[in-house]
Amino acid sequence: MNADPAAQRRLLDLQAVDTTLAQLAHRRRSLPELAEIARLEGRLAALSGDLVRLETEVSDLAREERRLELDVEQVRQRAARDQERLNAGRVGSPKELESLQHEVGSLARRQSDLEDQILELMERREEVQGRLDRLRGEVESIGADRDAAAARRDKVWGEIDGEVALNTRAREAIAPDLPTDLLTLYEKLREQSGGVGAALLRGKRCEGCHLELPPSEMARVRAAPAGQVVRCEQCRRILVRTAESGL
């Protein structure tokens, strides 16, 4: 392949811009904030199960409390009716009187039992509610950390995107200077060789693979016309000759 020596040198400018773009893309996806956000979101996901469990427990306890309160109310009403009958003195037989007094006594014990159970449930509900409140506080604080990390990520991403836009414009200004076949070869080599398709020959060294060219290779490169595109025998990249090549 042949290409104007100026176009070959321009390829090094394109390579510099492409290397910068690759570094920016790498920086964009390897920000420490991304790992931090993922870690915090993992913790939030883990805690959301506990949150639901405690919320369910609190509402179950509250429902049980209301059920027992209704029971207390029924017992209280029945005891009041019995007491009214006793007070009115309308009870016929002594046997009936004894049975009614017995019932009033057992209703009072039943009410007291139910009230003890309600107190126990309230204590449990308050304890679980306390755990729920602490967990909600923790979730809120992790959420705030996650939001702060996301804000830092967005700020850096904004800066990176600005640099990407500058370099993309630089690339668009360089690419039209290059012949299509040279550009196609460069793109293909860049894809195959870790993002570097064209390298400067500095002294005897290829700056793509950083190896020195053997004397026979140097002789071949020296002999090649300036308009010929030469490749590194070792890494196959386009080897660009400039004043720094010392030929």
Contacting residues toward Zn ion, per CB under 5 A: 206, 208-209, 232, 234-235
Min dist CB 175 to Zn ion, Å, is 23
E strand or H helix at 107: helix 94-174
Is 183 or 235 the residue whose CB approaches Zn ion more closely?
Answer: 235
Q: Six-digit token pair at 162? A: 């600005």
Q: Six-digit token pair at 16? A: 């510099």
Is 68 or 235 the residue whose CB approaches Zn ion more closely?
Answer: 235
E strand or H helix at 5: helix 5-29
Is 44 or 211 the residue whose CB approaches Zn ion more closely?
Answer: 211
Q: Which of 29, 2, 8, 23 is CA-nearest to residue 167?
A: 23
Yes or no: say if 238 and 198 are a contact pair by the CB < 8 Å rule.
yes
Min dist CB 160 to Zn ion, Å, is 30
Min dist CB 174 to Zn ion, Å, is 22
Is 24 or 208 the residue whose CB approaches Zn ion more closely?
Answer: 208
Min dist CB 181 to Zn ion, Å, is 21
Return all residues near 112 (Cβ < 8 A) that are at least 6 apart.
none
